[in-house]
Structure 1
């Protein structure tokens, strides 16, 4: 039997905690280190930080100490308003040290050829190639719902006029106020201009999955067109980051359309609510999250994938678990892959090893 792959988890937030729990239960992976940002977490047992029993791995903020452990792979799950600006320097350092990286943090890297910063992408590609390691970003949306699920269903198609993928989610559990309020506009009146309303932002946010699906289907996207819609709540809503007052934004919908030969061909829609009864005319779900694929063509194909339990359960956990496992399950495949920046088009199905009890 081959030795287990030595693995480090970068952060102990929602996704990182799930990754810690998953890795410690697998015989083919060994958790050797955990990185944390806040000093109050340094020195604590990583299992305790993840809401588990102690596991004998001490959390640290010392990146060099974790690199010195010579892990085979890092599960990078740090989040925050900086996103790529904070993560890319870490990626470069890890890749240059000969460490494979799987990430849920940089959603624009689910398809590296369309990455918004060619300079950063080229630096990462060079570091990975020189060290003989790989980088892979995924999740559930962007990720599985907007690449492998859609492309798998398209294998039944003779003709495709339009391929649309949609996420419908209840995000009242997400605790980062800056992202939800200033980034997306929740809790503000509709005359507030969130980051989402910045010209070109929606197009940039959803460009990667659109171009990934296009590459898989062998078409060229001429341009991506984005739109934003918001709806008010008529009552106060208590959420993880505070209170959303009546008369402020309680639901957000973004839509990005990839144009091919002058018409909408590949569309990504993202609907987020702070309560299930806001924006009742929009597509809804009673589950933690629903991921739809709708193909208009020959034949028409419609598929809804529901993640998690129905209403009444902890919203968001199932989607976070699916996000975490997309990269944890990919670790053996990424370690075995040729060096460089990977997308889902470059890997086989990352089937879960040792998933059955």
Structure 2
């Protein structure tokens, strides 16, 4: 059965999910919502960067027009989450797959917001699911598989490495992530943001293992660029933040049990110097069947900006049929079958 899909926002990730829908054999693109007036009226194929010509669906900035389409699913990929928009979509009868992290674990949501969203799902007979590469795949899907080899799990650690020097996303890197800022401006806000994103995902994994976390805390450090550093998104002034290392730790019995550490950097000439790997992940499993797993993106740095959005976007596109078939409500990785790509 062909599913009718809307793309909501068309930034770095949204343009890639849009392309995924257009090229998918079992999905039909019926609408695109654009926050930018400059994109309203443009053909979806052009927004997605496709070379095959127009696809016949034009972006709109009219929210009501999108709600009236009667789509089976909306891919919701904005930079910020608007719960009013999410609830309106769900109430309209459209299921939602989002790369936003707010819905990774219902119990971690503010109770009032959770109640609103679940009520909207009930009225629309719809479901919503958060996914992506990180958090998502690397903090939930892969750990669930590798821990199936264990009968005793002493700890699991995920190290993420991301060279962001070729990512042309100024709003994300400078405004959201804090690169290029003075060290005094960088700190608690970033720790809270990462805890809000990755903490619920680690708690969900612990719930699945039957070992609920007693505490989740965050610690961070940053590194500076000595000289002005020009990257794809702009220029970082000398002495500003060019690297950040943030660790989210889920504890049991006061000891680290599940850990995610982000090593994100815009250059390698940092002060202090860090031991940095190529973009990708390292998963360390300590137990009675210990594992070290390296997942490296085999992409030249000059092509990384074009290729890396696929790691987040493709999983969201592949999840659409499963979310459409799911029972109404906020659905997690634990609620859905294993997501498999329909090629």
Using the size of structure 1 for normalisation, the TM-score is 0.90
Which residue does the alignment assign to 2:314? 325
Alignment partners' CA distance in 1, 2:333 and 2:309: 19
Which residue does the alignment assign to 1:114? 108
Equivalent in 22, 25, 28 of residue 26 of structure 2: 28
Which residue does the alignment assign to 1:99? 94
Which residue does the alignment assign to 1:216? 208
Q: Write the mapping of 1:42-81 to structure 2, written as runs, cut at 5 A.
A: 42-52=40-50, 53-79=53-79
Alignment partners' CA distance in 1, 2:237 and 2:180: 6
Q: Label 1:349 to 1:307 Cα distance change in 2 as closer, same or farther (>3 A).
A: farther
- The DSSP-based 3-state class of the residue aligned with 1:164 is strand
- The DSSP-based 3-state class of the residue aligned with 2:184 is coil
Q: CA deviation at 1:300?
A: 1.5
Which residue does the alignment assign to 2:116? 123
Residues 166 and 302 in structure 2, CA contact (< 8 A), matched pair in contact too: no
Q: Write the mapping of 1:108-257 to structure 2, written as runs, cut at 5 A.
A: 108-115=102-109, 117-194=110-187, 196=189, 200-257=192-249
Alignment partners' CA distance in 2, 1:181 and 1:69: 36
Q: Label 1:194 to 1:183 Cα distance change in 2 as closer, same or farther (>3 A).
A: farther
Alignment partners' CA distance in 2, 1:110 and 1:51: 30
Q: Label 1:45 to 1:98 Cα distance change in 2 as closer, same or farther (>3 A).
A: same
Alignment partners' CA distance in 2, 1:41 and 1:270: 33
Which residue does the alignment assign to 2:38? 40
Q: CA deviation at 1:278?
A: 3.4
Residue 261 (structure 2) pairs with residue 266 (structure 1) = no
Q: Label 1:65 to 1:184 Cα distance change in 2 as closer, same or farther (>3 A).
A: closer
Q: CA deviation at 1:185?
A: 3.1
Q: CA deviation at 1:60?
A: 0.3
Alignment partners' CA distance in 2, 1:23 and 1:182: 29
- State the number of aligned residues: 341
Residues 6 and 29 in structure 2, CA contact (< 8 A), matched pair in contact too: yes
CA shift digits 1:165-210 (9 cap, x unpaired): 1211012244444543354332133233355356x44433321111
CA shift digits 1:11-48 (9 cap, x unpaired): 12121111222211222110011110111211111111
Which residue does the alignment assign to 2:5? 7
CA shift digits 1:200-252 (9 cap, x unpaired): 44433321111111111111111111101101122322123320123221100
Residues 3 and 26 in structure 2, CA contact (< 8 A), matched pair in contact too: yes
Unaligned ranges ≥5, structure 1: none
Alignment partners' CA distance in 2, 1:51 and 1:192: 36
Alignment partners' CA distance in 2, 1:59 and 1:272: 33
Unaligned ranges ≥5, structure 2: none
Alignment partners' CA distance in 1, 2:298 and 2:314: 14
Which residue does the alignment assign to 1:302? 292
Alignment partners' CA distance in 2, 1:157 and 1:293: 14
Residue 14 (structure 2) pairs with residue 19 (structure 1) = no
312-321 vs 260-269, greater mean Cα deviation: 312-321
Alignment partners' CA distance in 1, 2:314 and 2:114: 24
Q: CA deviation at 1:277?
A: 4.2
